[in-house]
Homo-oligomer: A and B are copies of this chain.
Amino acid sequence: MASEKQNTEIRQEQIAVAALKIIGRHGTRALNVVRIAGIVGLVPSAIYRHFGGKDDVIDAVLELVRKRLRANVAAVAAESRDPLEALRLLVDRHITFLCENDGVSTLIFSDQVYSGPKKRKVRIYGVINDYLQEITKLVRDGQEKLFIRSDLEPAAIAVMLLGLVQSPAILWHLSEGTFAVQSQTEQAWQVFERAIRGN
């Protein structure tokens, strides 16, 4: 019944993806090595061939999230013609990302965060800050090109944008998909855009 041998790098990737999937579907509490191993097709102890322990796996998941967030920003920057449109596209992508991976929200608040090494909290803050930083760049760019009012701090706009999406996402997955996340985000974006658009 032995699984085929795989390179550690591949396994690490598989394990991180599996972990994120578990967190998304069943919450961080359901994240245990048995389940992870099950998805990857390994025996629990095999996990320790590729990671020092559960904590390291969680760190890997965080890096995965960081990558995907970065990829989203890069994508919208490429697709759009102006920064304001880019922000709108980012809102769409971000909400989709959060809805498809409930785990992202839960991981950030997870007890795993607070129980783990203190570095954990710092690391999560870093991931979010990275993301905010990139959004801030978009905003600043929009201000320079006069698409966005320049009497507002770019960083503050970025945080607002995050909040715009976060609440609907929470409500969506608490409501088991009942909450009209699409409509809510749509309206919120319009209000938001009117408030920040350059005159």
A contact set with B: CB distance below 8 Å: 26-30, 105-106, 108-115, 121, 124-125, 128, 152-153, 156-157, 159-160, 162-168, 170-171, 174-176, 183-184, 187-188, 191-192, 194-196
Contact = CB atoms under 8 A, between A and B. Distances in A.
A167 B160 contact: yes
B166 A166 contact: yes
* Copies of this protein chain in the complex: 2
19 contacts: A27-B113, A27-B114, A29-B110, A29-B111, A30-B115, A106-B111, A108-B174, A109-B110, A110-B111, A121-B176, A125-B174, A152-B187, A159-B168, A160-B167, A160-B188, A162-B167, A163-B167, A192-B195, A195-B195
Contacts of A191: 152, 156-157, 160, 192, 195-196
Contacts of A184: 156, 159
Nearest to A162: B167
B27 A115 contact: yes
A187 to B, nearest CB: 4
Contacts of A115: 26-27, 29-30
Contacts of A194: 195
Contacts of A29: 110-112, 114-115
Contacts of A187: 152-153, 156
A118 B171 CA distance: 16
Nearest to A176: B121
Contacts of A30: 111, 114-115
Nearest to A132: B171
